[in-house]
Copies of this chain bind each other. A is one copy, B any other.
Amino acid sequence: MNVRVGRRTRHYRTVAFDASKNAVLLIEQRLLPHEFQVVAVRDFRETARAIQEMIVRGAGAIGATAAYGLAQGARAFRGGDIRKFSCHVETVYQTLKAARPTAIDPVNAMNEIRRAMSAGETVQQQQALTRAAAEQFADDDVKHCEAIGRHGAPLIRDGMRVLTHCNAGWLAFVDVGTATAPLYAAQAQGKKFHVFCDETRPRSQGATLTAWELAGQGIAHEIIADNAAGHLMQRGEIDLVIVGSDRTLGRTGEVANKIGTYTKAVLAERHNIPFYVAIPLSTIDWELSSGSEIPIEERDQSEVLGAWGALRNPKSEIRNPKSEIRNPKSVRRVYMRVANPTSRARNPGFDVTPPELISGIITPAGIFKPNELWRNRRELGHET
């Protein structure tokens, strides 16, 4: 989507490929929202490291990065020995897979690329096919998000105030995003609306990433503390909630998403505010039969006990970034202890929202009630 760079606004994807340099281009997300930088990664091992160190994060985005990384690794092979080439590709595959061992998207993405390349006979043919398949994978990710936007946009009417939680935006995918897709589509249709971004402690993805996205796109928005949404709903200042999902149970319609999502769903129900979840098909889990089976990651307590932010260097005040590659000394990104130094914290990363609190699930195939997913499983990509 759009990024304001100085006075210009330019379109970027989160992940792209520069074939002439065999480089994967990534937005350096760890510097956002304080600095905007695009990193050109020239070696598949570096691409794996970029995934591991979270220069790129988000299901769709790391899937596409792994797809490009596999193409990049395959294309770096010199020679015509197909057996050696296959071994090399296997190394690339395992290296990229190991970067985020529990994530499913990189594996699915790379399997798709390998399937496509098997149509080629020579090393050169297979190398060419990997690149085409990776581009196809990235384009499909964008198309799915655009479809979510098309289905979701009618929910947004002129003058509405929409609440979001965390970041299921274009930065988490190749472009467009899921929870943000209806917003971007409604904006393209000329609708005017206002977005409240939940800060989303402890990692503050709403205040940092979602707010940064909306600012670049020119969508009116305000950040609120996670504590404030209940009050705003009570005073009639929120008309619609749209969130993303990390895992949606196809059998039950339960939705696992960033911690705090469940709270917003409970509040929305009390105030009769529609609560929608936007998801790509890849996040539907067709196996589990209860949300209580979803493992809830207990994350490091330092996230709750402090915060990451930017200390300004008085010699170079940050306003809008002036150039794409910025002097990293203009902003010092630091971790700061906020809480009492002798206290500990609990830090569950996700929660599970039951289907009765969800008005609808916006997918690339249309909007479904949570209890309609299983009945429509073929349309939603379930493979049996």
Q: Chain A residues in contact with chain B, CB under 8 A? A: 4, 32-34, 196-197, 199-202, 204, 207-208, 211-212, 214-215, 221-232, 234, 258-260, 262-263, 266-267, 270, 296, 304-312, 318-320, 334, 336-348, 350-352
Min distance, Cβ A357 to any Cβ of chain B, angstroms? 10
Give chain B residues whose Cβ lies under 8 Å from the Cβ of A221: 343
Min distance, Cβ A267 to any Cβ of chain B, angstroms? 6
In the complex, which of the residues B267, B296, B339 contacts A199, with contact meaning CB atoms closer than 8 Å?
A: B339
Q: How many copies does the complex hold?
A: 2
A312 vs B338: C-alpha distance in the bound complex, in angstroms? Answer: 11
A341 vs B333: C-alpha distance in the bound complex, in angstroms? Answer: 13
The reply to whether A339 and B223 contact each other, CB–CB distance below 8 Å, is yes
Min distance, Cβ A275 to any Cβ of chain B, angstroms? 14
Give chain B residues whose Cβ lies under 8 Å from the Cβ of A346: 196, 222-224, 228, 232
Min distance, Cβ A27 to any Cβ of chain B, angstroms? 14
Give chain B residues whose Cβ lies under 8 Å from the Cβ of A224: 304, 345-347
Give chain B residues whose Cβ lies under 8 Å from the Cβ of A334: 311, 336
12 contacts between A and B (CB under 8 A): A211-B343, A225-B226, A225-B260, A225-B304, A226-B227, A226-B260, A228-B346, A308-B338, A309-B337, A310-B337, A311-B334, A319-B341
The reply to whether A263 and B259 contact each other, CB–CB distance below 8 Å, is no
The reply to whether B208 and A338 contact each other, CB–CB distance below 8 Å, is yes
A221 vs B343: C-alpha distance in the bound complex, in angstroms? Answer: 7
A63 vs B4: C-alpha distance in the bound complex, in angstroms? Answer: 51
Give chain B residues whose Cβ lies under 8 Å from the Cβ of A32: 340
A202 vs B199: C-alpha distance in the bound complex, in angstroms? Answer: 10
Known: A215-B342, A304-B225. A266 touches B270 (CB 8 A): yes
A207 vs B227: C-alpha distance in the bound complex, in angstroms? Answer: 14
The reply to whether A320 and B342 contact each other, CB–CB distance below 8 Å, is yes
Give chain B residues whose Cβ lies under 8 Å from the Cβ of A296: 231
The reply to whether B341 and A33 contact each other, CB–CB distance below 8 Å, is yes
Give chain B residues whose Cβ lies under 8 Å from the Cβ of A234: 262, 351-352
The reply to whether A201 and B226 contact each other, CB–CB distance below 8 Å, is yes
Give chain B residues whose Cβ lies under 8 Å from the Cβ of A339: 33, 199, 204, 207-208, 211, 223
Give chain B residues whose Cβ lies under 8 Å from the Cβ of A266: 230, 266-267, 270
